[in-house]
Structure 1
Amino acid sequence: MTFSGNRTPKISIVTPSLNQSRFLQTCLDSVRAQNWPNLEHFVIDGGSTDGTLEILQCNRSSLTDFVSEPDKGAADAINKGLVKCTGDIVAWLNADDFYLPGALHKVAEAWRANPDAGFWFGNGLRVDEAGKTKSVFNARPIVYNHRALVEGLDYILQPATFMNAEVLENAGALNPDLRWSFDWDLWIRLARLALPATIDEQLAASREWESTLTAGGGFRRAEELRLMAESHSGKPMTHGALCYWLDTLTGMMRSNPAAFQGKTLKAARQLWSAVQVDMQRLQVDASGMPTESGGVTDFVIGVDLYPLNPGTSGGIVPWVQGVLREMVRLYPNDRVILFHRPGHPPLNIDGANVEFVSLSENPTSFYKEMTRHCEQADVSAIVRSYPQEHHPDYPFERQIFVIPDLQHEYFPDFFSRPVLAARRRAFAYALSRGGAIATMTDHSRSTVLDNPWTASKDVFLMPAALPEELLGEPAIGALPQQVKAFDRFFYMPANLWPHKNHRRLFEAFRRALPALPPKTGLVLTGSPEGLEEALTGYEDLPILHLGFVAHEQVGALFRDTEALVYFSLFEGFGIPLLEAFRHNTPVLCSNSTSLPEVGGDAVLSCDPTDVGTMADLMTRIVNEAGLRESLSAKAAARLAVYDWATPAHALHAALERRSRPSPSSPVKHSPLISIVMPTRNHGHFIRASIDSVLNQTYNNVELVVMDGASTDDTVEILKSYGERIRWVSEPDRGQADAINKGMKLVRGDILAYLNSDDILLPGALEKVVGYFESHPECDLVYGEADYIDRDGNITGKYATADFSFERLMHDCCICQPAAFWRRRIADRTGPFDASLQTAMDYEYWLRMAASGGIIHHSPEKLAQSRLHEDAKTLAMRGKIFEEVFKICQQHGGYVSLSYYLGLWHYRIYETSGSGMKLRRFAPRLYYPPALVHFSAQMWRLGQMKPSRQQIARTTFNVIDRRLPVASAAIRKAWRRSTLLRKSIR
């Protein structure tokens, strides 16, 4: 913070010059005429051969210093002068430019009014070679618009610009590799550190003549400007860069009219006009001057922090925090609104353009409230900090999902079945509907792109860097006291999650100990949840778990450890490697997933399942002379690869892309639909079933009939269709076996099976394809259906219902002939269970849902299900209940009361000839035994922890949907209570 008061600021001026003797005296006189009492003026001459030296000698008394020696260009010369400057305000004035009277006094007033600005800039004049005024530089009031500066033209008049010396020191010098855009590049870098201030006064004159630096350069200049703009915007072509390119192109065409037809020049000018319309989005006029201040609302960005919990969420918290912190600094004209659950926000981000909004604990209420806030604030785009099953009512194409990795798909066994299913559903929405996806490494990006659920075309890298909290040097006494029991120790900072591979690390440590010096320990930090289980069998080892520790203590642990041991099975990035590099700490880690990419040649690595080699590495790093020093020497170079600015720019560029998604005509896809038809001795129904498929208006369909060696006229009917269908007639092991064999033969992206006595309604397949197109996250869609009798007469309506797992456990609300699913979910779900005779479809739906499949109900009527005396579902009622009880217990952990009621209704009324008479006299006789039977189940399940967990989750899901306030209280208790989580898990 600069305290100005009424103090007279010291102003430093640098004048670069090379053979500018005819203009130099005017420049020097304009500085002297300011009569500024606290001024220093340096002239850096590049070895002029005209009369420059004589002029400098004559003006020696009014100059602080001058030098005349060869330099590497204008930027290099200016940098030489800037090093000499000691003023509060610093500027450079080219030898052919000059200040207007009173300029420095006006600058000092601006400095007093806003001493913390990154720089101050004003207006001025364009003059010709003789110094005669051609025009005012900017005919409008002077305003600052950051986005217009980055993506538009350089609208800042350099000789009328004065820099804050403190901010300049942090921003760094001019880039000497730039010839034409070094000043523009510096303005952007300064502005990212501190907001500039404007001076709506004429301060200087810029001389424009044929030999000025900006007058030439041609396409080399245009390309440098494009690359410079790309480096700051993340866009390969900005509106401004295209303007410079077109200006160069049309200038070249005008200078060489014989080479180009008039139509060509006209087309170039028309393109120029079209680009000018695009430029208006930057709030600039035709000359590129801002018409409105960027203020704090270049973009309004919403950030969803609902999924994040410090500590329990792992490395994603410092990653998202680091990127957002830097983005807030780099783009001060954006308004960033962070939505979080009640209590302290999970991220610590400061900024005048940042605001935190606390919403409900219940996710449904949270996202409903978030939607309202986003609409009121006119949010441009939303950053989703981690995939969730709940979403704001906001266009998905304007949402960016942060996905560190897809670990759950590679190690599904590390997650409980309900957690895995929930994660898969959440990620399916993000991957298939998200406007863009941010991930950490090339490894993670490739796994995202390879995932069959990924439909987003905008998957970009947003790597992590070292958190700011870990940059400082830890104090000498910062090492936790407990660690001092060891003479040396290895360090592993990670929660006790299965993929962190702690138990293999413990075994490797056990094997290495005999070859290590006495009193060598292993220190762990992170959440202690699961420690007792992880240490089982290794209680005798010198292992110390410190739990969560302060940042300075983490730094001390890295500083003093023998090595970071990080043999994780799966990493989206691996921030602990950067922490180790910061302290020149050797790293022993896995040679898999993202760790080789992050660690490079600065680590020793091995297969994380090879315990013997892990032990060898631990032994080597302690005992092998020079190894430690060799790795430490490479650490700084690896750390330098990662900074927060790169991902911040990448995220901001993605936000710009998603805030204005380009309108595109919907692409009409015609995926192949494959239908398998199992049959046996259904000659009197099969023709109607086949025709219902072949007569669909949707043509890209294949039908495979799997006949179980029928003895009626089925085969003759199949032959009559010629090449219109494929069919196989051979013995099978039942309906499910026939379906499975058929599914191996088909090629479609959308799958279904249709029994040979059921019917597809006209237009059904068109509706199915349309639904999948508009719901890319959906894995299975089922519609409405009617029951029909033997003759095709409608006898009733199938009892479908909107899908939820609990609803499906109540009864089969999915009508099989009206159900269609994607191949991707079939590949994950596997084949139908051929051991089942009656409920193979119900088991398949339950298995699909339990694995995380997203199932939707469509109100469209798609099919007819035939009920007749030969139908298996009527003839095998007892077998149906036997199978249903088995599969509900297997996939849901319990059997619904509805099935107990159905079972006892069947036993009492349907298994004897007098049952219907008994039903008339005692219609509810089946209730008492059903309730007793169900209660016995619940008591039995209550004695078993896995079943208790399943029932608890099911109950909570119902509460979550119906009682938001109660569910919010449960969620809060769950997050805060380790004991509660332990009792349920």
Structure 2
Amino acid sequence: MSSLTLPKISIITPSLNQGRFLQDCIDSIRAQNWANCEHIIIDGGSTDQTIDIIRQNEKWLTSFVSERDNGAADAINKGIRRSSGDIIAWLNADDFYLPGAFRTVADAFSNDPCASFWFGNGIRVDERGVEKAAFNSSSVRYDRRALIEGLDYILQPAAFINRQVLNEVGFLDASLRWSFDWDLWLRLGAHSQPSVIDAQLAASREWEETLTSNGGFRRAEELRLLAERHSGQEMTPGALCYWLDSMDSYMTKSSAAFSRDTSAALVQLWREVQKDMRQLNVDSSGNPLPEDAPPSLMESNGDTFDLKPLTIAVDLYPLIAGVSGGIVPWVQGVLRELARLFPKDRVVMFHRPGKPPLSVDAANVEYVPLGDHPVDFYAEMTRHCESIGVEAVIRTYPQEQHPNFPFTRQIFVIPDIQHEFFPEFFSKQVLAVRRRAFAYALSCGGAIATMTEHSRQTIIGNGWTLTDDVFLMPAALPEELREAASVSDLPAAAAAFQRYFYMPANLWPHKNHRRLFEAFKLASPHLPSGTGLVLSGNPEDLDGILKDFEDLPIVHLGFVPHRQVAALFSRATALVYFSLFEGFGMPLLEAFHHGTPVLCSNTTSLPEVGGDAVLSCDPKDIHAMAGLMQRITAEPGLRDILSEKAKSRVLDYTWSKPAQELRKALDRVAYNPIKYSEKKPLVSIVMPTRNHAHFIRQSIDSVLSQCYGNIELLVMDGASTDNTVEILREYGDRIRWISEPDKGQADAINKGMEILDGDVLAYLNSDDILLPGAVACAVRYFNDHPECDMVYGNADYIDVNGVVTGSYATAEYTFERLMHDCCVCQPAAFWRRRVVERIGPFDLSLQTAMDYEYWLRMATSGAILHHTIEKLAQSRLHEDAKTLAMRGKIFEEVFEICERHGGYVSFSYFLGLWSYRCYEAWRGGSAFRRIAPHAYKLAALAHFVGQMARIGMDRKKTAYVSRTLFGVVESRSPLMGKLARRMWANSATLRQRFR
């Protein structure tokens, strides 16, 4: 096409305060290098840098104007009137053309000069101009009925109009605010057939201030009226989709006003409307399909046709490549397929500074690095989620810290709950942290993704699992591990063996390396000569694991590249994987892919994954393990049989199904209400008593008068000799009671708790009082905080006559605060039965501090303790009360239980003990106080320093206390916490010393 015959292309750019994008727009037109082009900018009176940018580019513009207008359509019409091109288009200031667009349109004009307009495909980009996805994932087509009754599927920046036809049908309808382009396509199409260009012509920038992202119900109604004007129908399937989308957005922002059932009904209606949309022969975005489109294309990945595009956040903070084990390739594989199958979703990956722990290369995936401290990370993640309108979050592993985003709209990835089956594999503090993190995920999460039915059932059966949405998201073989390997890829240390068994796993206790070594030692005399054992993975603590087995032919290769892993599998006699606990067992799939026989455990998920393609045995039976090693090397044809089964077995696992299951779960949680469903659990209260007839009636009445209806009270009387029993009989069947000898208060409480059935527990001494509404308040708190294991409120002290004498020194819970003194008022405390099932009953050996010991035991077990400022109880102080009568015994017990659970005794207790010894425990104490009022402080300090010296000489105690102090430092100074974390990550010596 000669320059003399080039069609003249006129581009109008309407703009209002889009200066930060305008240069990209102008540059994209200049880059077309189209000689016969005019560019007209119609600015609506911008107050930002727009005018400066226009002045800088004035020589490239045909004309411009900056004045108030009556909206975008009015501005575009002004530009059309100023233009003289054969082809007319408008390009919003925040959009831009792709290279070669004008040449492609000119060719279409030459081929079909009578078309009413020409339109093509394009891309969606984010605010920064980074490509998110293709606008239309399939070929571009035109279907008038689909355009009238469905959605506006034409990408406006990729549409170019025949000037002659435009003059005949009229310009844009300036009375329309949101649908003027749709109206124009319909009017142009009624005049003559448009022409389709199956190429990407332009980029549409999608961000929160674009015109189409605003408007709500007003926009939906304008679109409905437009559809009615052109179709003659008051409501079309497409118009209803726009309405439902507006309703969904509103209900999401106002979720407290709508029930879960209402949200679910809206989702169901949306899905029903999609069936009507299918009748228009369109895909899930409204784009027309070929007449003979196969059902699979019509369905758009099966039952995911009706899934609306989502903005999804992915929390990668928990993952560290090479350290986090098999969860990294699992999550990476699922997310890669998710991005491929659902290109219209926006997936934003939040990760620590530096290289992300996993790689998903897709147009609709973005990476955002945040701070390396968890508090900073999740605060920044919260701000980003709010700014981009995230609808659902994927948490790649449970953490104690969280973004400020509704838990009900988060999916937690949990491979297994191994720590509940083998708690001995974790230090006490690591186990506690792990349990607290998992409590949030299991109790609060909108959904939980796990790998196998075994893991799913163990999660469902866990006492902390309150969500009813636990779905399967099995793994498949990672793409990186599918490549073939050559002989040269085999590491030299492995090639030195004539044959070898292969074990790829970090040196974690549950991987069972020590028993594997014992079995290998037992089998070695019966194995072919030159048989070795090759290990790979994180080599940390290798010397400790290999102790006593140094004489065996065992080599550890550390971390090895994928091609070397492939070579190791290909050449191995067998994979040996006698793990004690597996959520899945990714190495089995790697072995299957290479046709490598598998010897593994017959427990947890491995039988489910391995099927009949493995040989298995009890991972604690070293003789059985050794027998399998001998069998695979000696039994003729066995390797070939297993190899064939393995190659067939691996075909059962693909990434498509787990990705689709995850996407459906994301759709479910995106519509979840923010508030949790209200539960009315049975609250069981035990009242231990002995000879408290003068107080017990008030205590019982304080329970019976509670406004919460689902309460059971059991009075455990220790064979009182006063008139307690007579008082109990007066209540008839309103209470339950038992009167019999016991071994003390703790024994009475324990027996009572075993008899009662409540999910929420408490005990109330027969001289204390529950304030009105206390139980309802506790239940309400548990409903609002499903992760909470115990809640305690404020309380008053009362005297023998019930007169308030002061306030109990309760405080917001932290472990170090609880170690400082008992900030939990026992009669104001309520806890869940699930904690009792984990930590057991009260300690019978304690007489005075059994409740304090119980709170500390809860805390160190991983329970989540909360404080509410609501006043729930009154604690009575009188001469008979143990807390007044047994001060010396209290200090004795407190010191013992603080040492037991915290590893140290707080200085506050040393002060209390020596104050008691100096001024209360002997007859001359009062006089000594007057003479030396501060003497106790010196004694306390000397005693405390002695304790610190003893802790310093005990390695285990030093590590334990150091971890506690780290928690205190990190909570008070994130900067110091960052430094400590970096030192820990970079120093194997520190990890070994303080683990």
State TM-score, norm by structure 2.
Answer: 0.73
- Give how far 1:737 is off: 1.1
Shift of residue 699, structure 1, vs aligned partner: 2.2
Q: 1:376 aligns with which of 387, 392, 404?
A: 387
Return the match for 1:432 from 420, 436, 443.
443
Name the CA distance, whole Å, in 1 between partners of 2:540 and 2:657: 35
Matched position secondary structure for 1:609: coil
Separation in 2, partners of 1:972, 1:881: 39
Contact 1:435 1:458 in 2 (8 A): yes
Matching residue within 858, 879, 886 for 1:869:
879
Is the CA contact (8 Å cut-off) linking 2:151 and 2:286 kept in structure 1?
Answer: no
Choose from 507, 513, 519 the match for 1:508: 519
Whichever residue aligns with residue 914 of structure 1, its letter is G
Match of 1:470 among 471, 481, 488: 481
Aligned-residue offset at 1:806:
1.1
Aligned to 2:768: 758
Task: Specify which of 952, 956, 963 is matched with residue 962 of structure 2.
Answer: 952
C-alpha distance 282-776 of structure 1, shift in aligned 2 (>3 A) = farther
| Conservation of the 8 A alpha-carbon contact between 1:362 and 1:960 | no
In structure 1, the partner of 2:195 is 201
- Hey, what does 1:587 align to over in structure 2? 598
1:361 and 1:971 in contact (8 A); partners too: no
**Which residue of the partner structure matches residue 130 of structure 1?**
none
Matched-pair contact (CA < 8 Å) for 1:122–1:201: no
Equivalent residue for 1:878?
Answer: 888
**1:120 equivalent in alignment to 2:120:** no
Cα distance in 2, alignment partners of residues 467 and 521 from structure 1 = 27
Deviation string for 1:376-428 (max 9, x for gaps)? 11111110000001111111111110000010011111111101111111111
Question: Cα distance, 1:143 vs. partner?
Answer: 3.4
Name the residue aligned to 1:308: 319
- Of 531, 545, 559, the residue aligned with 1:520 is 531
Tell me: CA distance 1:946–1:277, structure 2 relative to 1, closer, same or farther (3 Å): closer
Matched, 1:738 2:748: yes
Mapping for residues 474-493 of structure 1, pairs under 5 Å: 474-493=485-504
The equivalent position to 1:813 in structure 2, one of 818, 823, 843, is 823
- Residues 736 and 272 (structure 1 numbering): CA distance in 2 closer, same or farther, change over 3 Å? closer
Superposition deviation, residue 973 in structure 1: 2.3
Corresponding residue of 1:317: 328
Partner residue of 2:736? 726
The answer as to 2:965 corresponding to 1:971 is no
Alignment of 1:510-589 (within 5 A): 510-589=521-600
Question: What corresponds to 1:827 in structure 2?
Answer: 837
Q: CA deviation at 1:120?
A: 2.4
Moved more, 642-651 or 841-850: 642-651
Compared CA separation, residues 857 and 866, structure 1 to 2 (3 A): same
User: In 2 relative to 1, CA 597–369 (structure 1 residues): closer, same or farther, beyond 3 Å?
Assistant: same
Q: Residue 120 of structure 2 contacts residue 140 of structure 2 at CA under 8 Å; is this kept in 1?
A: no
Partner amino acid, structure 2, of 1:201: S
Give the superposition deviation at 1:441.
0.7
Structure 2 match to 1:694 = 704
Q: Is this contact kept in 1: 2:119–2:155, CA < 8 A?
A: no
CA RMSD of aligned residues (A): 3.3
Distance 1:140 1:437, change over 3 A: closer
State the Cα deviation string for residues 764-805 of structure 1 (Å, max 9, x = none). 111111111111111111001000001111011000001111
Query: Are the aligned partners of 1:397 and 1:434 in contact in 2 as well (CA < 8 Å)?
Result: yes
| Residue of structure 2 in register with 1:897 after alignment | 907
**2:782 corresponds to 1:795:** no
Which of 369, 372, 390 in structure 1 is aligned with 2:401? 390
Deviation at 1:302, TM superposition (A): 0.6
Determine whether 1:919 maps to 2:929: yes
Change (3 A) 1:921 1:721: same
Partner of 1:55: none
SS at match of 2:514: helix
Q: Report the Cα offset of residue 291 of structure 1.
A: 8.4
2:507 to 461, 477, 496: 496
Confirm or deny that 1:367 pairs with 2:352: no
Matched, 1:629 2:648: no
The answer as to 2:790 corresponding to 1:771 is: no
Mapped to 2, the partners of 1:273 and 1:522 lie a distance apart of: 55
Q: 2:458 aligns with which of 447, 465, 470?
A: 447
Shift of 1:669: 2.9
Q: Which of 881, 887, 898 is equivalent to 2:897?
A: 887
Partners of 2:113 and 2:468 lie apart in 1 by 52
Per-residue deviation at 1:923? 2.6
Mapped partners of 2:622, 2:285: distance in 1:
66
Q: Give how far 1:665 is off.
A: 9.3
Seen in structure 2, the aligned counterparts of structure 1 residues 609 and 273 have a Cα distance that, compared at 3 Å, is closer
Relative distance call for 1:634 and 1:692 in structure 2 (3 A) is same
Assess if the C-alpha contact under 8 Å between 1:276 and 1:286 holds in 2: no
1:637-652 matches, cutoff 5 A: 637-652=648-663
Partner SS, residue 755 of structure 2 = coil
CA separation of 1:285 and 1:515: change in aligned 2, threshold 3 A: closer
Q: Indicate how the Cα distance of structure 1 residues 104 and 722 shifts in structure 2: closer, same or farther if over 3 A, else same.
A: farther
Aligned position for 1:27: none
Secondary structure of the structure 2 residue equivalent to 1:744: helix
What is the identity, as a one-letter code, of the residue corresponding to 1:702? Answer: E
Post-superposition shift, 1:977? 2.2
| Equivalent residues, number | 760
The 1-side partners of 2:803 and 2:719 are apart by 29
In structure 1, C-alpha distance between the alignment counterparts of 2:148 and 2:761, rounded to whole Å: 67
* Match in the other structure for 2:299: none
Structure 2: tracts of 5 or more residues without a match: 1-108, 124-132, 157-192, 199-235, 241-264, 289-306
Counterpart in 2 of 1:74?
none
Q: How does 1:140-179 map to 2 (within 5 A)?
A: 142-143=153-154
Q: Distance in 2 between matches of 1:754 and 1:823?
A: 16
SS of the equivalent of 1:706 reads strand
Cross-structure match for 2:337: 326
Task: Say yes or no: does 1:343 pair with 2:354.
Answer: yes
Contact 2:573 2:633 in 1 (8 A): yes
Structure 1 residues 426 and 487 mapped into 2: Cα distance closer, same or farther (>3 Å)? same
Shift of 1:121: 2.4
Deviations 1:131-182 (A, max 9, x none): xxxx98889764389xxxxxxxxxxxxxxxxxxxxxxxxxxxxxxxxxxxxx
CA distance in 2 between partners of 1:562 and 1:603 (Å)? 13
| Distance apart, 1:273 and its partner CA | 15
Deviation at 1:119, TM superposition (A): 4.3
The amino acid of 2:139's aligned partner reads: W
Give the unaligned 5+ runs of structure 1.
1-99, 127-134, 146-198, 205-241, 247-270
Work out whether residues 432 and 453 of structure 1, in 8 Å CA contact, stay in contact via their aligned partners in 2.
yes
Paired amino acid for 1:804: T
Which residue type is aligned with residue 350 of structure 2? Answer: F
Residue 682 of structure 2: which of 661, 669, 672 is its match? 672
Task: Check 1:272–1:910 CA distance in 2 against 1; reply closer, same or farther (3 A cut).
Answer: closer
Matched-pair identity in %: 60
Return the letter of the residue paired with 2:142. N
Match for residue 601 of structure 1? 612
CA distance in 1, matches of 2:814, 2:733: 41
Structure 2 CA distance for partners of 1:845 and 1:533, relative to 1, 3 Å? same
Amino acid at match of 1:122: R
DSSP 3-state at the match of 1:123: coil
- TM-score norm. by structure 1 comes to 0.73
